[in-house]
Amino acid sequence: MGRSGIVRFLHTAAGILSYPQDPRSFAQLFGALSSAHYTRGRITRIHRETPDTVTAFFTAGDGWIPHRAGQWARIGVEVDGKRIWRPYSLSAPEQGDPSITVRAQGTVSEHFVHRAAPGDVLYLERPEGQFILPEMPTALLFMVAGSGITPVMSMLRTLMPRRPDHDVVLVYVSRNRQSCIFHDEILELADQFPGLRPVFWFTEERGRLDASDAATVSALCPDHPQRSTYACGPDSFVTAVENLGDGSGTAPVVERFNVTRAPTDGQRGEIRLERSDLTVEVGESETILEAAEHAEHPLPHGCRMGICHSCLIPLTDGAVTNIRTGELHREPGPVQTCVTRPAPYAVFDA
Amino acid sequence: MTLTPATAPVTGAAPPAPRQPRDPLQLTDRELDELAAELDTVREEIFSQRGQSDARYIRRVVALQRSLEMTGRACMLFSRHKPLWWTGVGCLSVGKILENMEIGHNVLHGQWDWMNDKEIHSTTWEWDFVAPSAGWQRTHNETHHTWTNVLGKDRDVGYNVLRMDPEQPWKPVNLLNPVINLFLAPAFEWGIAVYDVELDQFFAGNKSGRATFEDFKRVMKKLGRQSAKDFVVSPLLASLTGSGKASIKGFLAANVIRNVWAHAVIFCGHFPDGAETFTEDEVENESRGHWYRRQAMGSANIDGSRLMHFMSGNLSFQIEHHLFPDMPSNRLAGIAPRVKEICQKYGIRYTSGPLPRQVFQAWRKVFRLALP
C-alpha cells in the first residue's frame, strides 16, 4: 500500500466517525488546506509590481497540478461574503511556487490589489489552456500588450534559464514605464541571457502600436515572418497581430484577455441546456423554468415562487436576472430557475 | 398608506396603530398587495445587505459546532470518568442541536446559497440527522413551506400521527395522541425519517411504490451509517479504555436531548394558540399578499434570550422564517420588530410567547384533540 493508499484508508476510517461530513471539513479547523469540495490554496506573499498591479504567490493544497508556462487557472476568492471566480494567467515559472499577477480592473482583481493579504485562502481549479510552448521551440516573437505579459513572463522565466541562447524577441506595449509590469526584471533577464531581446513600446511616448502593420513590426523585429509568434493582450491587439503578415507564415498562437459578453436584460432570451443538448428561447414574460416546460423539457422545481430552492441548476456561462429583485447573477453556480430569466443568454449544466 | 422607508431603524417610532382592530381575512386584494409590497421591501433590503459579516457569522457557528463535536467525541473515549461523560454529553448535545437547527435546517433552506460556496450550500449539505437531506428538503421546503397550515396539503399538521386541528376528523386512534407525542419527542429524528418516506402518500396512491421504496432504502442506508457512528464504532473505540458501555449511554443521551429539544421548539412553530389553519378552498388562486398573510397567521414565535434564539436555530422567529424562508437566520431578530409592526397594521395577529407557555399550549392541544 503506497502513500496515497494509506491516505485513502485513513480518510475512509475517519469518515465513519465524521459522517455525514467529510473528515477534511474537520481538518480545516486546524488550518489544513483540504476540503471536500475544492482545491484550496493560501497566499504566502504579495509583491507590488506597479502602483496598480500585484503578484500574489500561493501554496496549493491537494488536487492542484503544476502548470505549464503560459497556462491559466480559475481562481475563486471571497468578496463581501460571496465566492467569485476569475481566470488568471500564472506568471511564475514552471516548477516554482505558483503565482498570479493582477492589475486592479474589476471586482476580483481590485480585491487582490487592495485587500488580499498573506494567509488568505484561495480556491483553485486546475491550470489549463493551450497558450504554451512546444518542447523544442524555434526562434520566437512575443507580442504582448498590458497585462498580456503575465503568461509570457512565465514562459520567459521557464525557457531562458534552460536555454540561455534561445533566440527570443519580446515586443511589449504598455502605457508608460511606471505601468509596465516586470519592466526591470525583463531587463535583468536580457542582461543574463543574451538570446532575449526586449523591445518596450510606451504608448504615451510613441502612440498606439499598429500590430497589424508589417512595416511597423519589421522596424521592431525585422525577421518576424521567420519566427513563431505568440500574442497576448486585449482582444483588439491580438486580432491586429493575427492580421499581420501575408498569411504565408504559420498563424500566431494567441491568448485573448477581456473577452466578455456584456449581460443585458433583453426582451427575449435564450437558454442552453448542455446535458440535454437543447436550446430554448425564453419569451418576454417567461421564467427559465416555464420556458423549459413549454419546450416539453421539465426541470426540477418545487414552490415555483422562489422560496424553496428545489429548482437549482448550475449556471456555467452567461447571466440571469432575478425577476423578484432585478439582481443580475453571472457567477457560475446553482441558480433558481423559477424566478430567473436569461440576460440574455445562459448556459446550464442540465 | 406609507411604505416603511428603506433606511428606517428597526426600533424606530411605530406608526400610529389603527383605532379599529381589523379582521385580516377581510383585507381587500389591494390591501394585500400593499402588505406584500411592504414585506417585499423588508426582504429586499436585507438581501441586498448580505455580506462579509453574515458569511463570518455562519462560518464561526460551523467552526464552533465542529469543535464541540470533536471535543464531545474525544470525551466519550474516556467516558467511564464521570466528569468527562458529562462534558462529552454536553458538547455532543449542543453540537447536534446547532448542527441540525442553526446550521442544517437553515443551510438546507438555501439561506447561505448566496455565498456561492459548495461547502455551505443547500445542494451539497448532508446533516447529522437520520432523515436524508434531499427527502427532507422535499417534504419540508416544498410541501410544508408552500402549503403551510393548509389542511389536507401540509402534512406537518400532526405529521400524520397526531390530530392537531379540530377540523381533522376524529378517529379512535387519536385517543393515543398524548402517548404518541410522548414517544415521538425522544425519537424525533427517527420519526421525521419515517415521515419523509411518505408512506401515507403511497397508501393514498399519490406516490409510486418504486419512489417510496427508493426513499425507504435511502433512509435505511443513512440510518445505518448514523447508528454505526454513534452506537457501534465510537463505543468500540471507547472500549479500549473500558468506556464502551458509558459511551453508548452518552451518545444515547446526547441524541435524546437533541430530539426532545428539537421536538419542543418545532411544536411551538405552528401549534400554540393563535396559529391558524386554512382550507384548500381558501388558498385557491392565492396572490403573494394572501400567501404572506397565511404564513404570518399560521406561525408562532417564541420569546426569549439570545441564547434561546441561537439554540433554536432562530426558529423562534417562526413568523419571520415563514415569510422569508431563505433569509439568513442571523437576520431574523433584526427584522422582527418591523414585521410585527406591519402585521399589526393589517390586523394580523403576531403570535408570540415565552417557551414554557408555547410548549404548554402545544401539549394542551395534543391532549384536547385526543377527544372528539
pLDDT 10s digits, A50-89: 999 999 999 999 899 999 999 999 899 999 999 888 889 9
Q: Which residues contact A247 (CB under 8 A, 6 or more apart)?
A: none
The pLDDT score that the predictor gives to residue B2 is: 38
Q: How far apart are CA B15 and CA B345, in angstroms?
A: 8
For chain B, say whether A35 makes contact (Cβ under 8 Å).
Answer: yes
pTM of the model: 0.87
For an interface test with A, give the residue of B76, B119, B221 to mutate (most A CBs within 10 A): B119
Question: What per-residue confidence (pLDDT) applies to B327?
Answer: 98
- Say how far apart CA B164 and CA B186 lie, in whole Å: 19
Any A CB within 8 A of B110 CB: yes
CATH number for A269-348: choose from 3.90.870.10, 3.30.365.10, 3.40.50.300, 3.10.20.30. Answer: 3.10.20.30
Per-residue confidence band for A308, with pLDDT thresholds at 50, 70 and 90: confident
- The C-alpha atoms of residue A95 and residue A116 are separated, in whole angstroms, by 24
Is residue A313 within 8 angstroms of chain B, CB to CB? no
Would you give the DSSP letter of residue A311?
S
Per DSSP, A239 falls in state: H
- What pLDDT is recorded for position A122? 96
- Asked whether the predicted pLDDT for residue A190 surpasses 90, the reply is yes
Q: What is the secondary structure of B97-161 as a DSSP string? A: HHIIIIIIIHHHTTTTGGG--GGG-TTT---SSSS-HHHHIIIIIIIIHHSTTBTTT-TTTTTTT
In this prediction, residue A301 carries a pLDDT of 84
SS3 (DSSP) at A124: strand
Can you tell me the distance from the alpha carbon of A171 to that of A169, in angstroms, rounded to the nearest whole number? Answer: 7
Q: How confident is the model at residue B6 (pLDDT cuts 50, 70, 90)?
A: very low
SS3 B86: helix
Confidence of residue A286 (pLDDT cuts 50, 70, 90): confident
Contact A303 B145 (CB under 8 A): yes
Average pLDDT for chain A = 90
Counting residues of chain B whose pLDDT is more than 70, the rounded percentage is: 94
CATH 3.40.50.80 spans which residues of chain A? Answer: 140-257
**Residue among B52, B138, B141 whose CB faces A81 most closely:** B52
Ranges in chain A annotated CATH 3.10.20.30: 269-348
- The answer to whether residue A19 neighbours chain B at the CB level (below 8 Å) is yes
* Nearest to A105, CA basis, from A46, A148, A142: A148
- Least reliable range by pLDDT among A3-17, B11-25, B316-330: B11-25
Interface of A with B in 44-83 (CB under 8 A): 78, 80-83
Sequence-ordered list of residues with C-beta below 8 angstroms from that of A119, at least 6 positions apart, any chain: A42, A43
Indicate the residue of A17, A307, A331 with minimum beta-carbon distance to B326.
A307
Best to test chain B binding among A16, A79, A308, A335 (most B CBs inside 10 Å): A308
Fold topology of A140-257: Rossmann fold (3.40.50)
Model confidence at B22, pLDDT cuts 50, 70, 90, reads confident
Q: State the pLDDT at residue A248.
A: 58
pLDDT score of A302: 81
Q: pLDDT value at position B76?
A: 98
Cα of first residue to Cα of last residue in chain B, in angstroms, is 45
The ranges of chain A annotated as CATH 2.40.30.10 are 38-124
Q: CA-CA distance, A82 to A75, in Å (whole number)?
A: 13
% of chain A residues with pLDDT over 90: 69
Return the pLDDT at A34.
85
Region at A77 (left for phi over 0; alpha for psi -120 to 50; beta for the rest): beta
pLDDT at B17 over 60: no
Exposure string (b/e) for A232-255, b if CB count within 10 Å is 16 or more? bbbeebbebbeebbeeeeeebbbb
- Contact of B41 with chain A, judged by CB distance below 8 Å, is answered with no
Dist CA A96 CA A278 (whole Å): 43
Min CA distance, B122 vs chain A (Å)?
Answer: 8
* Predicted confidence (pLDDT) per residue in A213-263, tens digit: 999 999 999 999 999 999 999 988 999 999 887 655 678 898 887 644 444
pLDDT digits (tens, 9 = 90+) for A93-102: 998 899 999 9
Residue B316: what pLDDT?
98
Query: What pLDDT is recorded for position A96?
Result: 86
Which of the 8 DSSP states describes residue A136?
A: S
Indicate the average pLDDT of chain B.
93
The segment with the largest mean pLDDT, out of A146-155, A272-281, B17-26, is A146-155
**Cell numbers that stand for A193 in this block:** 541571457
Give the model confidence (pLDDT) of B288-346 as tens digits. 999 999 999 999 999 999 999 999 999 999 999 999 999 999 999 999 999 999 999 99
Superfamily of domain A38-124 in CATH is: Translation factors (2.40.30.10)
Asked if B128's CB is within 8 angstroms of A21's CB, the reply is: yes
Confidence (pLDDT) at A23:
93
pLDDT, position A305: 82
Residue A318 C-alpha cell reads as 452567461
Run of H or E including A71: none
pLDDT at B84 exceeding the cut of 90: yes
